[in-house]
Chains A and B, each alone.
Chain A
Amino acid sequence: MYTQALDIPQQNTEAKGPRTIENPAYQAEFDAKIDAGGYIEAKDWMPESYRKTLVRQISQHAHSEIVGMLPEGNWITRAPTLKRKAILLAKVQDEGGHGLYLYAAAETLGVSRDELLDALHSGRAKYSSIFNYPTLTWADIGVVGWLVDGAAIMNQIPLCKCSYGPYARAMVRICKEESFHQRQGYDLLLTMMKGTEEQRDMVQDAVNRWWWPSIMMFGPHDKDSTHSAQSSRWGIKRISNDDLRQKFVDATVEQAKVLGVTMPDPELKWNEARGHYDFGAIDWDEFWNVVDGHGQGNVDRLAARVKAWDDGAWVREAALEYARKHDARDSRAA
């Protein structure tokens, strides 16, 4: 479906957020609705801490989608076949669409897309660290679909039932598309694994580079996580980081066997007693280094987003100026 190109976001910067002034009666009603598993909608009263937490979480997710366009976009012009080029381009376009739905969901909470983008461009807002890793070969495109979209799905499926209606509905659409991306990535890898030795080596090398970063996508261990009981009550963090990570490892290791690749973890083995795979220690220094801006791609990714935004300023200004002139002309004519 084609998007409405005339819809320039700067036109609606006036904040029209939900009502959040403290009120015990409203609070009780809100709590009851949450505890009954109901949805909070944009027009409903909500506590300010709920609104703020959601704005932060939804906008970080939106930023991740659009920064995530860059590592995969890196291979569109070099895709090896026309079919793969089309699949990749459509996938990266989907990620842009996810960004759009999520910015729209955040806007229902009284912030504008421009404010959120400004926070991204100035470095105040975070996005998923995984996108600071480089895509070095064509196999990375398959591995990103398989592991990165795969981890994203594990993280996001619980959010399809989160308490904030606009976010939950956005997540339902997004999760459907993410599972499609994961299957396409896996299919790309299956094809490469049936190919030449060189192609199989390329896949293994990509798995070696992406495995640890992808299991870091679930965040710090539960004991070190700042996510509160509050978030889980609100249904915006329903399952713990470690539980999600375990679920991902268990599913992915089986898929790796079918594919014929090995994970770069000598301690990875089935634990009969637990009924799960055990895995080695995660290098959290590496994780925090990338979160704190010292990954290979942090500077380039952000610079690419800022450049696109700055280079496009004259286009956005022109669209606004054209609309202003024509509104004036139309009202004179009327």
Chain B
Amino acid sequence: MTQQMTSPEHIEYVLRLGDNALILGQRLSEWCGHAPVLEEDMALANMSLDLIGQARMLLTHAGRLEGRGRDEDQLAFLRTEPNYRNLTLCELPNQDFGRTMVRNFLYSSFQKLLWERLMTSSDAELAAIAAKSIKEARYHAQHSGDWVIRLGDGTADSHARAQGALDYLWPYTAEFFATTPVDDAVAAAGVGPVWSELETAWEALVMPVLAEATLTVPARTPFRSYGKFGRHSEHMGHLLAEMQIMQRTYPGAQW
């Protein structure tokens, strides 16, 4: 373990990373047994497992930084909604395979950039997690990007569904890049990048794929979401109710 100076911002930054992985991992796990083909059942379970694995490492790390004795499960299952710091995009319902793949593509493209930067974090534990997670994010972006292209440039029906998914999800991506004092403090300590700095590089990753998919990128609107600040969508409470049920019902039990 790194014995370094920490700060509330540092802890929140790591929690935000952990919560993204946790909440999207939870959403993807809902697919298991219900995908369009068996190969996709396997792939979605793989990606969910990768994200749950990331969440475990990140939440464990956040708990140690915090120093209040909270482990991965106490953080994953026993916080109240405003204390989860994931991007709103991660908590939105899967709806259909198209929306699930477009979301995975938008998110994992962003994660690729983030992990790349975090590999040189002054927080050695975080750097090690990033080195492992970047390989996973590359695969997730490749897999979902391939599907975005196939669905966008497939049948008229699949094009309409993929476009609908992009129209629905795109406004939530503004939150990736919303500025926050947490990022400034963390960047000053060399822990990680300010997320707003990644916007240009992210667009350079996603735009060519969306173009190849023959999809139209919506214009930015005044819409804003605030999950990473702790203000979530209506969907989050339901997700948490389901995910937390065992820990809430049997406090203190070992499983």
Whether B32 lies near A82 (C-beta < 8 A) is: no
Nearest B residue to A113 by beta-carbon distance? B38
Chain A neighbourhood of B158, CB < 8 A: 314-315, 317-318, 321
Q: Is A331 an interface residue (CB 8 A)?
A: no
Whether B45 lies near A85 (C-beta < 8 A) is: no
Query: 24 A-B pairs, CB-CB below 8 angstroms?
Result: A2-B143, A3-B39, A3-B46, A5-B39, A66-B38, A73-B32, A80-B246, A85-B29, A93-B42, A96-B38, A96-B45, A100-B39, A196-B253, A199-B250, A309-B36, A311-B36, A312-B97, A313-B36, A315-B37, A316-B36, A317-B158, A318-B155, A318-B158, A322-B150
The stretch of A6-14, A43-51, A122-130, A229-237 in contact with B is A6-14
A315 to B151, CA, bound (A): 7
Nearest A residue to B159 by beta-carbon distance? A318
Whether B36 lies near A308 (C-beta < 8 A) is: yes
Chain B neighbourhood of A6, CB < 8 A: 146
Nearest CB in chain A: distance from B230 CB, A: 21
Which 4 A-B residue pairings sit nearest by Cβ, starting from the closest?
A312-B36, A318-B154, A318-B158, A80-B246
Interchain CB contact (< 8 A) of A93 among B41, B59, B153: B41
Whether A322 lies near B154 (C-beta < 8 A) is: yes
Q: How many residues of B contact A (CB 8 A)?
A: 54
**B27-39 interface mask toward A, CB cutoff 8 Å, 1 = contact, 0 = none?**
0011011111111
Chain A contact residues, CB within 8 Å of chain B = 2-9, 66, 69-70, 73, 76-86, 89-90, 92-93, 96-97, 99-100, 103, 138, 188, 191-192, 194-196, 198-199, 304, 307-309, 311-319, 321-322, 325
Nearest CB in chain B: distance from A154 CB, A: 25
Chain A neighbourhood of B43, CB < 8 A: 2-3, 5
Chain B contact residues, CB within 8 Å of chain A = 22, 26, 29-30, 32-43, 45-46, 48-49, 52-53, 55-56, 59, 72-73, 76-77, 96-98, 139, 143, 146-147, 149-151, 153-155, 157-158, 161, 242-243, 245-247, 250, 253-255
Chain B neighbourhood of A321, CB < 8 A: 154-155, 158
Once A77-B243, A199-B253, A325-B153 are accepted as A-B contacts, the answer to whether A82 and B42 lie under 8 Å apart by CB is no
Whether B255 lies near A322 (C-beta < 8 A) is: no
Whether A318 lies near B254 (C-beta < 8 A) is: no
A66 to B250, CA, bound (A): 31
Chain B neighbourhood of A308, CB < 8 A: 33-36
Nearest CB in chain A: distance from B253 CB, A: 5
A70 to B161, CA, bound (A): 27
19 additional A-B residue pairs with CB within 8 Å, beyond A69-B33, A315-B36: A2-B143, A5-B143, A66-B38, A78-B242, A78-B245, A80-B77, A80-B250, A82-B73, A86-B53, A89-B45, A90-B45, A92-B33, A93-B49, A195-B253, A308-B33, A308-B34, A308-B35, A308-B36, A317-B155
Nearest A residue to B60 by beta-carbon distance? A82
Chain B neighbourhood of A194, CB < 8 A: 254
Chain A neighbourhood of B29, CB < 8 A: 76-77, 85, 89
Nearest A residue to B158 by beta-carbon distance? A318
Interchain CB contact (< 8 A) of A317 among B52, B143, B154: B154
A89 to B28, CA, bound (A): 11
